[in-house]
Amino acid sequence: MHIRLINPNTSAAMTASIGAAAQRIAAPTTRLTAVNPADGPESIESHFDDAIAAVGVCEEILRGERDGVDAYIIACFGDPGLNAARELTRAPVIGIAQAAFHMASLVSTRFSVVTTLRRTVILAEHLLSQYGCATLCASVRATDIPVLELEHNPSACAAQLIDQAQHARDHDGAGAIVLGCGGMASFAADMQAALGIPVIDGVSAAVKLAEAAVGLGLHTSKHGDLATPLPKSFTGRFAHFSRS
Ligand SMILES: O=C(O)C[C@H]1NC(=O)NC1=O
């Protein structure tokens, strides 16, 4: 099967690290390709960034349809454009936040999210509610690490992530930790060894869930709200989205 990872930000270095993390966990028979839009935010750390990034996600889905992709992963913790992307394909589309929350719920009764900037906490809280996981989440803790700092200064970032995860484990009642960024994938194994509790990276969780969905012969439902969008004209910079 062919799984396409879409890093919705335009950081090529983060796309490469996401692809490498996915490759470490994918089945030998799974072909992985990792891409990012040419246009859009270099990192996604706000509602505005999220909205702009969703357009690039949809463009990458349309490219993937031409490439015969079997499943897609939206490798940004805000899951930008997730349901819009699902309208554009019959293939499963897995968001790393949704994947991580559900994977954490299989190995703990309460988990905490450790994420980047404080202002993104509400994005995670909105997704927890949207996915029906809010009652399973003990806390969402911010490290105030800017997303791209994960690439630039990993050792300092690892220390801050561990510190917040230890507080979540010792004071919030978390039995597991969800990493709140696609760029944190490479930290999961060391953090799990240091903390002694499950640490879930959404990229890895999404790869295994995508493999499972394809293996089960599941497709995105085209009945109701995720049906292919109705034919309509788009103008100007979005003209390429027009469908007859
Ligand atoms: O929401 C965040 O802070 C993390 C999110 N932003 C990004 O550019 N990739 C991510 O996974």
Give residue-wise pLDDT tens across range 12-47: 999 999 999 999 999 999 999 999 999 999 999 999
Residue % of the chain over a pLDDT of 90 = 100
Query: Ligand 1: distance of its center to the CA of 80 in Å?
Result: 10
Name the token pair of 98: 């949704």
Tens of pLDDT, residue by residue over 51-84, are 999 999 999 999 999 999 999 999 999 999 999 9
Of all protein residues, the one whose alpha carbon is nearest to atom 9 of ligand 1 is 76
Cβ burial 68-87 (10 Å sphere, 16+ → b, else e): ebbbbbbbbbbbbbbebbbb
Q: Which atom of ligand 1 is nearest to the CA of 11?
A: 8
pLDDT of residue 108: 98
Interhelix angle 121-130/96-107, rounded to 10 degrees, is: 70
Ligand 1 pocket check: which of 5, 15, 45, 149 to mutate, most ligand atoms within 8 Å of Cβ? 45
CA of 148 to the centre of ligand 1 (A): 9
ipTM of the complex: 0.97
| Cα 106 to middle of ligand 1, angstroms | 24
What kind and span of H or E run contains 179? Answer: strand 176-179
CB 176 within 8 A of CB 108: yes
Residues in contact with ligand 1 (CB, 6 Å cut-off): 9, 43-45, 76-78, 115-116, 120, 123, 147, 181-183
pLDDT given at position 203: 98
pLDDT of residue 48: 98
Q: Which atom of ligand 1 is nearest to the CA of 181?
A: 11
pLDDT of residue 133: 98
Neighbours of 233 (CB within 10 A): 10
Please count the other Cβ atoms lying within 10 Å of the Cβ belonging to residue 118. 12
Percent of the chain with pLDDT over 70: 100
pLDDT at 175: 98
Residues 81 and 61: their CA atoms lie apart, in Å, by: 10
Query: What value does the mean pLDDT take over residues 129-137?
Result: 98
Give the residue whose CA is nearest to atom 6 of ligand 1.
44
Tens-place pLDDT, residues 220-243: 999 999 999 999 999 999 999 999
Cα four-point dihedral sign 178, 183, 186, 191: negative
